[in-house]
Amino acid sequence: MKFALILLLIASAAGCGGYGSKSMTPQQPGTMPAITQLNPGSTSAMGPAFLLTVEGANFNSNAVINFGGAAQTTTFDNASQVKATIAATAITTAGTVKVTVTNPGTPGGIYGGGTAAATSAAMDFTIQ
């Protein structure tokens, strides 16, 4: 009988804002990167791999260049410049490729929070 009463008291406390309740913090917007220039701005189809430098603002240290929608292994120089080597297989056909930069989100803790991923507006890269 005492055991059942103790369980009832613990369950009541947990359900009434006691031990089981926690306040959740909503996810916050991430830092929005912006692209101002691609260097080079074009290349030849069927050419060799090349180093793409993306200049802009608000690049996080873990920012990722997306070339034609595919995430590239990215090197962070500073908050206004990131680089990636674009494989020859990505430039086999003439046309325009969209380039963006994504700042990945940060996870929240047990109470939520963190930041959402943010992706820049696209800039066109020309394959001739």
Backbone angles phi, psi at 14, to 5 degrees: -70, -35
Q: Are 36 and 53 in contact (CB under 8 A)?
A: no
Residue 5 has pLDDT above 50, yes or no: no
**Residue 27 confidence (pLDDT):** 84
pLDDT, average across residues 21-34: 84
Q: Which residue has the higher pLDDT, 18 or 77?
A: 77
Residue 25 has pLDDT above 80, yes or no: yes
60 vs 120: CA distance, rounded Å? 12
Q: What is the token pair recorded at 127?
A: 């394959």
Angle at 80 between CA 94 and CA 86, to 5 degrees: 30
Residue 10 has pLDDT above 80, yes or no: no
The structural domains of the chain, ordered by start, are 31-127 (2.60.40.10)
Q: Which residue has the higher pLDDT, 58 or 21?
A: 58
Q: What is the pTM of this model?
A: 0.79
pLDDT, average across residues 33-61: 98
